[in-house]
Amino acid sequence: MSHNWKELAHLRRDAFLADLQRFLAINSIEDMTTAEEGKPFGAGVAEALEYMLTRGEADGYVTRNVDGYAGVIEFGAAPEEIGVLVHVDLVTVGEGWTTPPFEPSIRDGKIYARGALDDKGPALASYYAMNIVKDSGLPLSKKVRFIIGTDEESGWLCMKHFLEKETLPQVGFSPDASFPIIHAEKGQINPTLTIPPDSEMAAEGGLKLLSFVSGNQGNSVPDRAVAIVSSGEPSVLQEMLAKWPAFVTEKSTTGEAAIGEDGNLELTLFGINAHGMEPQIGKNAGTTLACFLRQYPFEGSAYSYISLLSDILHEDFYAERLGLACEDEVSGKLTVNAGILRYSQAEGGNIRLNIRYPATVSKEERIERLKERVAEMGLTLAELRSSSAHYVPSDHVVVQTLSRVYEEHTGMPAELLSSGGATYAKMMSSGVAFGPLFPGRASTAHQTDEYIEIEDLMRAMAIYAQAIYELAK
The model's pLDDT over 130-182, given as tens digits with 9 standing for 90+, comes to: 999 999 999 999 999 999 999 999 889 999 999 999 999 999 999 999 999 99
Q: In this model, does residue 294 exceed pLDDT 90?
A: yes
Percent of the chain with pLDDT over 70: 99
Residues 310 and 412 reside in one and the same domain: no
Check which CATH number belongs to the domain holding 164 and give it: 3.40.630.10
**What backbone phi and psi angles, to 5 degrees, belong to 115?**
100, -5
> What's the CATH code of the domain at 360?
3.30.70.360
The pTM of this model reads 0.75
- The answer on 373 and 286 residing in a single domain is yes
- b/e for 312-339, b at 16 or more Cβ within 10 A? bbbebbbbeebebeeebebbbbbbbbbb
Instruction: Please tell me whether residues 316 and 370 are part of one structural domain.
Output: yes
Question: What pLDDT is recorded for position 421?
Answer: 76
Rounded Cα–Cα distance for residues 431 and 84 (Å): 9
Catalytic residues, by residue number, are 89, 152
How far, rounded to the nearest angstrom, does the alpha carbon of residue 125 sit from its chain's CA centroid? 20
Tens of pLDDT, residues 369-385: 999 999 999 999 998 99
Please give the tally of structural domains in the chain.
2
Answer yes or no: do 377 and 265 share one domain. yes
Q: Which residues of 231-311 form beta strands (DSSP E)?
A: 254-259, 265-270
Q: Looking at the structure, do residues 201 and 281 belong to the same domain, yes or no?
A: yes
Q: Which domain holds residue 81?
A: 5-185+390-472
Domain edge (last residue) among 332, 367, 387: 387
Mean pLDDT of the chain: 95
Final residue belonging to a domain, choices 347, 362, 387: 387
Confidence of residue 201 (pLDDT cuts 50, 70, 90): low
Q: What is the band of 20 on the pLDDT scale with cuts at 50, 70, 90? A: very high
Tell me: pLDDT of 203 over 80. no
Single out the residue in 344, 365, 387 at which a domain terminates. 387
Average pLDDT score over residue span 437-446:
94
- 295 and 405 in a single domain? The answer is no
Same domain, 134 and 223: no
DSSP, collapsed to helix, strand or coil, labels residue 150 as coil
Q: Do residues 375 and 396 both lie within one domain?
A: no
Name 152's Cβ contacts closer than 8 Å, sequence gap at least 6. 87, 89, 119, 158, 176, 423, 424
Q: What is the pLDDT of residue 1?
A: 38
What is the band of 68 on the pLDDT scale with cuts at 50, 70, 90? very high
302 Cβ partners below 8 Å, 6+ apart? 208, 209, 343, 345
Residue 73 to residue 243: CA distance in whole angstroms: 58
